[in-house]
Structure 1
Amino acid sequence: MLGSAAFAFSNIDLQSYNLGFLLSPPSPPSTMTSSIPSSTSTIIVHTINAGIINFLPASLFFKPILPGYKGLSRPVYTFLIEHLTKRKVIFDLGMRKDQEKYVPVVQRFFDLFRELGGYDMGTDASKTVSKQLVKGVDLGSMDAVIWSHTHFNHIDDISLFPSATELVVGPGMDLCTYPEHEDMHLIKSDTASYLDGTLILQCNTMLHIADLPALDYFGDGSFYVLNTSGHHSGHISSLTHVTPTMFVLLGGDCCHHIGNIQPTAHHCSLCLTPS
């Protein structure tokens, strides 16, 4: 339910790559590194602060609840991926700022959060991903938008992007829309020009990374899309090669805390904040 998560794996300490949680252990899990094809190609990952959820009930994510920790404040991140050939894609879009346009099932989520402890969402319209990008990136130059999944806090309003922008989703993703389907988060009016031409991403089953079906998106080992279905049907993550010795995992909602992905006695050496 939180914004897209990022985790970095490296055998050296590169504090300047503050794209996610940098892990303290000196080497990544062998099952991850041994299954990544060798490549010298890298990409640039830009982290975009797309807003903040000022309060979420901790009881939805953790047990037991410690005194003084009844609520969570969490930033919502999206990621601009820039290939060395200047091709660009964006991974996840965050939450829309015109919350009154969310579908009824999402409004009921908000009501539940308020009942549990006072849901509050920052609504600074200037943080809309498309508005932030247009200050330095021509939206027409964007090859694709990649949704990790179609929960409301990852899809924003894709109609803000040019209709020529490709929409990429995972295999098995449910693309039904509201109002025809009352329990769907997707809004027909937002997505009508995209869904007929959506690329349903089929991960190449001949390639596996950490036992996950994977697709080499640019074909050079710089950016892998991983099939991580579980949190949501068709959920995908991406493994980005940012230096010869470091990968950043854009995890979407495959977990909500770094401890889920690598239990360790070491504390994370870095945690992003909205600043």
Structure 2
Amino acid sequence: MIIIDKPCLPAAHTIADPSLFARSSNTRLYYLKPGVFWEPAFRGHDGFYMPVYCFLVSRGNRNVLFDLGSHIHFDYIGDPSRFPPATELIIGPGVKAAAWPGYPINPDGSVLDSAAAGRSVRKI
């Protein structure tokens, strides 16, 4: 992981302290097929490279972590239940309808019900 300390983000001395973590600057994405983005398909181009960024924005003892381009995905969703109950789970449109109820209530669920248990879930 590449950590960029105080990147080219606007100074925010009175609002927040932004940090940028570049998880990878050259990630090969095979699951995002180029045909989703352009046509005709190019033979031999079965994926493409793109950066993956993660932002940590802090003010005092309050933090928010934002994973640019984050989306629901069964194989790397993380485990929100490991965070304190005061940590809000922020989701995008359609996630609640697509993901809940989760496992074990829904045996085919792609998330665990414990991910949202005892915490505020807010859609943005």
Pairwise same-fold verdict (TM > 0.5): yes
More helix by share: 1
Is residue 2:65 matched to residue 1:90? yes
Is residue 2:101 matched to residue 1:176? yes
Any idea what SS the aligned residue of 1:166 has? coil
Matches within 5 A, 1:72-87: 72-83=48-59, 85-87=60-62
Maintained 8 Å contact 2:16/2:57:
no
Q: Which runs of 5+ in 1 are unaligned?
A: 1-15, 19-39, 95-147, 202-233, 237-275
Matches within 5 A, 1:1-275: 17=8, 41-49=15-23, 52-56=27-31, 57-83=33-59, 85-92=60-67, 150-152=72-74, 155-159=77-81, 161-164=82-85, 166-170=87-91, 173-174=95-96, 175-188=100-113, 192=114, 194-201=115-122, 234=123, 236=124
Task: Figure out how many residues of one structure are paired with residues of the other and give that number.
Answer: 108
- What is the percent sequence identity of the aligned residues? 28
The structural deviation recorded for 1:49 is 0.7
The structural deviation recorded for 1:89 is 1.7
Q: For 1:56-110, what per-residue CA distance to the aligned partner results, in whole angstroms no more than 9, with x for missing partners? A: 3322333222345332234443322222x2421212499xxxxxxxxxxxxxxxx
1:262 match: none
The structural deviation recorded for 1:48 is 4.3
Quote the Cα distance in structure 2 between the aligned partners of 1:184 and 1:163. 23
Maintained 8 Å contact 1:47/1:78:
yes
Q: For 1:7-54, what per-residue CA distance to the aligned partner results, in whole angstroms no more than 9, with x for missing partners? A: xxxxxxxxx527xxxxxxxxxxxxxxxxxxxxx734413224179455
Maintained 8 Å contact 2:22/2:51:
no
The structural deviation recorded for 1:200 is 2.8
If asked which structure has higher relative contact order (CA below 8 Å, sep 6+), I would say 1
Maintained 8 Å contact 2:54/2:65:
yes
Quote the Cα distance in structure 2 between the aligned partners of 1:93 and 1:164. 23
Quote the Cα distance in structure 1 between the aligned partners of 2:43 and 2:106. 41
- For residue 177 of structure 1, what is the amino acid of its counterpart? G
**What's the RMSD between the two structures over aligned residues?**
3.8
